[in-house]
Amino acid sequence: MDEMSARDTGRLLPARLIEGYEVFLRGRFRREQDRYRELADRGQSPKVLLVGCCDSRVSPEVIFDADPGEIFVLRNIANLVPPYEPDGERHGTSAALEYAVKMLKVAHVVVMGHAMCGGVRAYVETQSGADVELAPGDFIGQWISLLGAAAAKIGPRATPAAVYAEELGRAAIIESLANLRTFPYVREAEAAGELALHGAYFGVADGRLFGLDEVSGEFLPLAAKAHAAALTPPRF
């Protein structure tokens, strides 16, 4: 097939994506062709399932400098994991979790939240006392209502909305880990020492990463020296 004109290809994909693809071909793909062929031949075998937010500012593959096939990424609004509910309905997050744990046999599940999460903020802004008015639309409000359990545990809002949203975002990670353990195969794999669960929190503005210490319930800074060095001039 002859090379299509820029105008024609623009009908197929946004121009920015095509430009990015060309950069990928000239760079990473050119260097890693053997890896892609190997992944195609033997399939994927990631060791980590990362449950992250759909937010375009928080790309797990970028944050963790991941190679192709290294992380099985599941992204949804506000990086939530619902409880185990085999009710015959469609459950995209639960299906991905089942596939990662039972089929891919991942060794780690990481639930990673982030600062300034729009889903968490939407929940906070639609609260009225102890009640929650679901956000407009067919699906968003029902989904973010999952934050209700975490909100109940941290109690009524007594701080500005932005501060409370950050607290709720962290509490939601802890609640998602609890929900993960309602899945029988997750609970069994963890008990057998075959699976470890983790919580993480990423700061969009400053790039800081925190890991959850489940014993204390605190989020502790990770790679602090490397983070400090990254902020030291010159940056380039």
Between residues 142 and 188, which one has the greater pLDDT? Answer: 188
Is residue 38 in some structural domain?
A: no
27 lies in the same domain as 140: no
Q: How confident is the model at residue 112 (pLDDT cuts 50, 70, 90)?
A: very high
- Residue 129, pLDDT score: 46
Structure token digits, residue 217 = 């319930």
Average pLDDT of the chain? 92
143 lies in the same domain as 202: yes
Q: For the segment 74-83, what is each residue's pLDDT rounded down to a tens digit?
A: 999 999 999 9
- When divided into structural domains, the chain yields a total of 2
94 lies in the same domain as 4: no
Is residue 236 in some structural domain?
A: no
The answer on pLDDT for 132 being more than 50 is no
Whole-prediction pTM: 0.92
The DSSP letter of residue 69 is T
Is residue 36 in some structural domain?
A: no
Q: For the segment 149-172, what is each residue's pLDDT rounded down to a tens digit?
A: 999 999 999 899 999 999 999 999
Domain of residue 4: give its range. Answer: 1-31
Is residue 210 in some structural domain?
A: yes
81 lies in the same domain as 181: yes
Q: How confident is the model at residue 72 (pLDDT cuts 50, 70, 90)?
A: very high
Instruction: Compute CA 38 distance to the chain's CA centroid, rounded to the nearest angstrom.
Output: 26
Q: For the segment 221-236, what is each residue's pLDDT rounded down to a tens digit?
A: 999 999 999 999 887 7
The answer on pLDDT for 131 being more than 50 is no
- Residue 125, pLDDT score: 87
- Give CA separation, 139 vs 76, 92, 133, in Å: 12, 13, 13
Is residue 39 in some structural domain?
A: no
Give the CATH number for residue 159. 3.40.1050.10
Task: Collapse the DSSP code of 46 into the 3-class scheme (helix H, G, I; strand E, B; otherwise coil) and give the result.
Answer: coil
Strand order of the β-sheet with 196-202 is 71-76, 48-53, 108-114, 196-202, 209-213, 218-221
142 lies in the same domain as 81: yes
Task: Collapse the DSSP code of 112 into the 3-class scheme (helix H, G, I; strand E, B; otherwise coil) and give the result.
Answer: strand
- Residue 136, pLDDT score: 62
Whether the bond into 156 is cis, omega within 30 of 0: no
24 lies in the same domain as 100: no
Q: How confident is the model at residue 7 (pLDDT cuts 50, 70, 90)?
A: low
Is residue 235 in some structural domain?
A: no
- Residue 6, pLDDT score: 64
Which of 35-44, 120-129, 172-181, 218-227 is the least confident region? 120-129
% of residues, the chain, pLDDT over 70:
93
- Residue 104, pLDDT score: 98
Is residue 81 in some structural domain?
A: yes
76 lies in the same domain as 4: no
